[in-house]
Amino acid sequence: MSCRYLYSILRDTHLQYRDIRSPLCKPVLWSRLARDDMRASLTRSLTILPENVFNDMQSVISDYLPMEERVPEEYRECSPVDNGRNSDVPRRREVLHGHEQNLIAALKRMTNLRQFRWFRMPPPVSEGKDDLWTMLNSLGTVEELHVLDLQDLKSSGWRSVVETPSFLSFQGLTFLDLRTDVADRAEDDPDLDPLLRMLVNCPRLKSLRVHLQLFSQVVAADAEILVQEGRWPQLTSLYLEGFSCQPDSLSAFLSHHEALRELRLSCMMPGYRWRDLSLPQGSLPNLCTLECHSPTAAALLRDPQVAPNLASLRGIDLSDTVRLNDYFLLDYEYDEPEFGEPDVHKERPSPWKAELLEAIRAHPRITSIEVDKKPTAAQIRELRQVAPQLKELSFCGEYDRKGEHLWHEARFHSPRLV
């Protein structure tokens, strides 16, 4: 009985306020928290949701995020108020600014907040000394940020989160997950150096995920500042998309981060110069999961003493012939040693497949492989020859009878597959 009574107390106060996920346009909730120090101080995690996730966001993004609303019971019947969507741009900014000020007033009381997530499109509109990021930073307790920096059709021209000085002033983060479309919206290449320097100035990072959308761009952003100066002794998870760097810088960076367990590299890290990627023996001793395309994997795993405990390899393919433009973005400075400027559209024998297969053979602890392109039966047999220990094999593409045949082929040649 006493346990039930204690649970009822916790349910009505502590548990309901500990993790709040709400649309921005719920002023009744923010007003309550702004005048209730006790309840506001219970909040450890706060997530700002879109008003209508199905209309406001692509499923490829929203499907992987915690989008279900979670508010204290007394506010569950409160519908979001006007968000200015149907107004002109000035009026919409005014409406959203008002809602953000209500939120900021509540944030002032959240003295134990650890995690903040912004899943709403567009990004915050408030600017200046009293904006959202300034308030979060001033709390001194926020260690984890998860931010969607994505514009909608009516917010074109609004300042991006990664261009906001107050956001770029964080230094105590241990976790950052950021997806931004700033490169797609900019007429010229955006200056991302301030963002990269902000990351360098967060020495306690344990997990870093930065996804730079490049739907309309053909050139990746330079990440040399990050890989040359970033040193995070506690970093266990790294995901970079839309960036480029030189192989020697990437080699040095990876060799300095022994704690890494999960690693995901963009196609231009290091891109056309993949052969020059070479890590010292003993690098990445704790790496369990690697996601990158085939040329990077072939080079990174060339030495069996690099990533010796790798268990999962994702994003590769075993194509016999390739076109370079299917694997790399533009690199205006690269010339092929033998031929000069490469013909990226020319079909050619894969220059990395043999190395990749040998790299997989050299890492006998790999038990899970995800193939980016649907393999042929012959390619499955090749995998079986170099990795008979495989327990999991998956491949992209729609499931059909051919896919079913390939799966049975894989099971036949690799009896350990589950």
345: pLDDT strictly greater than 90: no
Query: What span, in angstroms and rounded, lies between the C-alpha atoms of 296 and 67?
Result: 34
Identify the weakest region by mean pLDDT among 143-157, 243-257, 262-276, 280-294. 143-157
User: Which two three-digit tokens encode residue 381?
Assistant: 């047999």
How buried is residue 330: exposed, middle or buried, by Cβ count under 10 Å (0-12/13-18/19+)? middle
C-alpha dihedral, 91 to 110 to 205 to 363, nearest 10°? -90
**Helix or strand run (H / E) with residue 56:** helix 53-56
- Nearest Cα residue to 243 out of 253, 256, 233: 253
> 399 φ, ψ to 5°?
-80, 125
Give me the long-range contacts of 390-396 (CB less than 8 A, separation at least 24). 390/366, 390/414, 390/416, 390/417, 391/367, 391/416, 391/417, 391/418, 392/312, 392/367, 392/368, 392/417, 392/418, 393/368, 393/369, 393/417, 394/369, 394/370, 395/370, 395/371, 396/370, 396/371, 396/372
C-alpha dihedral, 406 to 409 to 414 to 415, nearest 10°? 120
Rounded mean pLDDT, 292-304 = 98
Rounded mean pLDDT, 212-225 = 86
Q: How confident is the model at residue 82 (pLDDT cuts 50, 70, 90)?
A: low
Identify the weakest region by mean pLDDT among 9-23, 62-76, 138-152, 238-252. 9-23
Q: What is the mean pLDDT of the chain?
A: 87
Torsion region of 210: left, alpha or beta (phi above 0 gives left; psi -120 to 50 gives alpha): beta
| H-assigned helices in 153-285 | 182-185, 193-200, 224-229, 247-255
Q: How confident is the model at residue 413 (pLDDT cuts 50, 70, 90)?
A: low
pLDDT tens-digit profile of 185-195? Answer: 776 778 999 99
73: pLDDT strictly greater than 50: yes
- Nearest Cα residue to 350 out of 311, 382, 309, 377: 382
Q: Letter for the amino acid at 100?
A: E
- C-alpha count within 13 angstroms, C-beta hemisphere, residue 188: 2
**290 vs 372 pLDDT, higher one:** 290
- Nearest Cα residue to 16 out of 89, 76, 98, 88: 76
pLDDT at 50: 87
418: pLDDT strictly greater than 90: no
C-beta separation of 417 from 392 below 8 A: yes
Query: What span, in angstroms and rounded, lies between the C-alpha atoms of 133 and 316?
Result: 38
340: pLDDT strictly greater than 50: no
pTM of the prediction? Answer: 0.90
User: Which two three-digit tokens encode residue 271?
Assistant: 């891109």
pLDDT at 228: 97
**Helix or strand run (H / E) with residue 95:** helix 89-107
Rounded mean pLDDT, 256-261 = 98
Rounded mean pLDDT, 300-306 = 98
84: pLDDT strictly greater than 50: yes
Question: β-strand 321-322 against 348-349: which pairing, if any?
Answer: antiparallel
pLDDT tens-digit profile of 27-58? Answer: 999 999 999 999 999 999 999 998 877 666 77
Tell me the sheet residues that pair with 240: 210
**Helix or strand run (H / E) with residue 290:** strand 289-291
232: pLDDT strictly greater than 80: yes
pLDDT at 398: 59
404: pLDDT strictly greater than 80: no
Q: Please give the share of the chain, as a percent, with pLDDT higher than 70.
A: 82
Rounded mean pLDDT, 173-178 = 98
pLDDT at 338: 47
